[in-house]
Structure 1
C-alpha cells in the first residue's frame, strides 16, 4: 500500500498550507474580521477568495473544464486537511459545506443545461447554495425515505410543493436550492430532487435557528413551502430518485467533513503543543511532564487513525465510487477525535484554552455538531452493524 502523494497533489498541498499560513490565519486572528455569527465577514472573505483563485487553488473538487482543479478524492483528503487548519480555510477555497457537497452532486447527476444554470454560478463563487431535506418531527431526519412529509404534487408540467424543513444549512444566504420532497408513498422511490431559486415565490424562511456553536454563512434555518411551483425541467434526476441523489451527495460530503475536521484537530494540538512548551509548572515545562505527554500522544494517535480511515474511504471512492461502510467508519471516528483533540487542548491550556484568547473554544463549540451532522454517529454504527451482518468475515476484506 502506497500512501505517498503524487507530485501534483503534493504541490497543491504545499501551496494550500502556505496560503493558509500567509493569508488566512492572519485574518482569523483579527477580531474585526468576524461577522455577528462568528464567521468571516463577507468583504474579508471576498479578498481571500480572489487571492485563492489567482493562485490556482480554487474549487479543488470540480473538474478543470468547469473551472476547478480536478483533484481525485484522495487528493482532496490531503488538501482539505490543510485547509482545515483554519476555521476560515475551506470557505476561502470554495470547498466549504454546503456548497461543496452540492457542487459534487450537481456535477455527477445534473444535465448539461442544469449545470450551466445551477452549478456554474456556485463554482464561480457568484452565489451560494443550500440542500433542503431535514424536517421537524414527525418528519424526516435520519430516515428521509420513510418519514418525509414535504410533498411535491404534479400539475401539468409543474410541481407544487408544500411542507416544512428545518436546520437547513446556509439557507439565509443561498440563491440556489436543492430540495428533496415526497412524490409518492413508495418506500424506496417515493422521493424526488428539485432545483429552485431564492426568488421563486411560494416559500419563506421562518427563522434562523440559534445554535450553541458558530455558524456557517446563512445559518441553519427553518423553512416553509406553501405552494412553491417548480417546472418539471428543474427536476434533478428522475422521479423517485431523490433518495439516490441524497446518498450520492452525502457519500462524499460526509468524508469531506472528516477531511476538514482532521485539520482542526491537528490545529488544536498545535496550539496546545506551543503552550505546554512555554508554560512552566513544578520546576519544568509542562511538555516534560509525563501526564501531559500521555495526553498529547493519545490525541495524536487518534488523529492518525482518523486520517487512515479517511484516506482509505477516499481511495475506495476513487476506485469504485462507493464506500458506504468506509465513510461511516471515518465519520464516527473523526467526529469523536475532533472533540477529544480540542478537549485535550483546552485542558492543557487551562483557563487560556477556555477563554477567547485562542480559537480553541470556537472549535470546541463547533465540534459538538460533528456527531450529529450528515447522520448521527448512532445511525452510522447501525449501518456498520448491517454491513457486518451482510458480509460476515468479508467485512474486513482487503481491497
Structure 2
C-alpha cells in the first residue's frame, strides 16, 4: 500500500490551504458576512468563487474536459479536507453538496446533450442544483424502494405527482434531478428525471427549519401536482433510477466524510490554540493530562477517519462501488465530527458555547451528519450484511494480481 500522493495533488492542496487561510477564514468572525440562515452571504461567496476559479481551484472532482482537474476520489479526499477547514470552504470551490454529487452523476451518465443543457451551467457556477429523492412517511428515505411519487407516461412526456421533503438547496436551485416511480418492478421501478425551476406543475410548499445552519436554498418540502417532463429528460433509461441513486450516493457519502474531516481538524485547531494560552489554577490547559488525553484521542480518531476515507476513495477509483468501505467511513467520520466539536467546546468552556468561535456552528451542523445520506444504523446494517455474506473474508487483504 502506498500512502504517498502525487506532486500535482499536493500542489493543489497547498494552494487551497493558502486560499482558505488568506481569503475565507478571516470572513467567519464578522456576523455581517452571514446570511439570514447562517451561511456566507451569496454576494461575498460569488466574489470568492470568481477568485477561486481564476486560480484554477474549481470543480477539481470533474474531468478536465468537463472543466475540472480529473483528480479522482483520492485526490478529492486530500483537497476536500483542506477546503473544509473553513465552514464556508466547499461552496467557494464548487465542491459543496448537492451540486458536487449532481455534477459527478451528470458527468458519469448524462448524454452529451444533457451535459450541455443541465451540467455545464452548474460547472460554470451560473446555477445551483438539487437532488429530489427523500419523501415523508410512508415514502422513501434511506430505502429508495419505498418511493411513492409517481411519473406516469402520457405520450412523449411523464406527468409527476407526489411529495418530497428535506430537499437540500431547493429554494436556490434551478436544475433538479428527480427520482420517481414509473412501475411496480422492485428493481426497475424507479426513474431519474431532469427538470428546470421554471417548469409548471410543482411548488415549494415550505422551507423546513432545522436545528443547525443551513445550506443555501435550505431543506424544502416540494409538491408535484402535474409537472410534465419530456421523455428526453430521463437520466439514463426508464427503470434505471435505483442505479442512478447508487452511482450518485456512494461517492456523495464519501465526499461528505472528506469535508467533515476538515471541520474535525478545525475543531482540534481551535481547541489547541485556546488550551495553549488559557491558564487556570497556575497551569496552562495544554499542560494538563486530561486535556492532552482529549486532544490525543481526537487526533487518533481523525487519522482513523482519514485512512477509512482514503481506502474507500482508492476502491472507488478502481471501479468498485465500495459500499462496505463507504459505510464504515460514513459512520466513523459522522460520529467523529460530533465528538470533535463537543470536545473543542468543552476545552473552550463558555467561549466555545458562545458565537465568538465557529465551534457552536459546527456542533449544530454536526448533528445532521449521523442522519444525512443514511443514518448510522442503516450503514451498520449494511456492514452486518457484508459480514454475514463474507464471514472472515470481511477483513481480507486483496492480493496483487489476485481476484478482488
Normalized against structure 2, the TM-score is what? 0.98
Judge conservation of contact 2:149–2:181 (CA < 8 Å) in 1: yes
The reply on whether 1:63 has 2:89 as its aligned counterpart is no
Q: How does 1:306-325 map to 2 (within 5 A)?
A: 306-325=305-324
Which residue matches 1:16?
Answer: 16
Which residue matches 2:382?
Answer: 383
Which residue matches 1:75?
Answer: 75
CA offset at residue 29 of structure 1? 2.1
Gaps of 5+ in 1: none
Which residue matches 1:270?
Answer: 269
Which residue matches 1:398?
Answer: 397
The reply on whether 1:37 has 2:57 as its aligned counterpart is no
Judge conservation of contact 2:178–2:193 (CA < 8 Å) in 1: yes
Which residue matches 1:127?
Answer: 127
Which residue matches 1:239?
Answer: 238
- What SS is found at the alignment partner of 1:70? coil
Which residue matches 1:172?
Answer: 171
CA offset at residue 69 of structure 1? 1.4
Which residue matches 1:96?
Answer: 96
Q: Distance in 2 between matches of 1:321 and 1:88?
A: 31
Which residue matches 2:359?
Answer: 360
- What SS is found at the alignment partner of 1:134? coil
- Deviations along 1:120-160, one digit per CA (max 9) or x if unpaired, are 00001000000000000111111111x11100000101000
Q: Distance in 2 between matches of 1:140 and 1:250?
A: 14
Runs of 4+ displaced beyond 3 Å: none
Q: Distance in 1 between matches of 2:29 and 2:306?
A: 27
Normalized against structure 1, the TM-score is what? 0.99
Which residue matches 2:370?
Answer: 371
- Deviations along 1:226-261, one digit per CA (max 9) or x if unpaired, are 000000000001111101100100010000000000
Q: Distance in 1 between matches of 2:28 and 2:233?
A: 39
Q: How does 1:83-232 map to 2 (within 5 A)?
A: 83-145=83-145, 147-232=146-231
Gaps of 5+ in 2: 399-404
Which residue matches 1:305?
Answer: 304
CA offset at residue 30 of structure 1? 2.1
Q: Distance in 1 between matches of 2:320 and 2:257?
A: 17
- Deviations along 1:209-242, one digit per CA (max 9) or x if unpaired, are 0000000000000000000000000000111110
Q: Distance in 1 between matches of 2:375 and 2:341?
A: 20
Q: Distance in 2 between matches of 1:81 and 1:325?
A: 21
- What SS is found at the alignment partner of 1:4? coil
Q: Distance in 2 between matches of 1:64 and 1:144?
A: 32
CA offset at residue 320 of structure 1? 1.9
- Deviations along 1:169-222, one digit per CA (max 9) or x if unpaired, are 000000000000000111111100000000000000000000000000000000
Give the aligned length.
398
My pick for the range that moved more, 329-338 or 59-68, is 59-68
- What SS is found at the alignment partner of 1:153? strand
Q: Distance in 2 between matches of 1:309 and 1:346?
A: 26
- Deviations along 1:351-386, one digit per CA (max 9) or x if unpaired, are 000000000000000000000000001000000011
Q: Distance in 2 between matches of 1:57 and 1:161?
A: 38
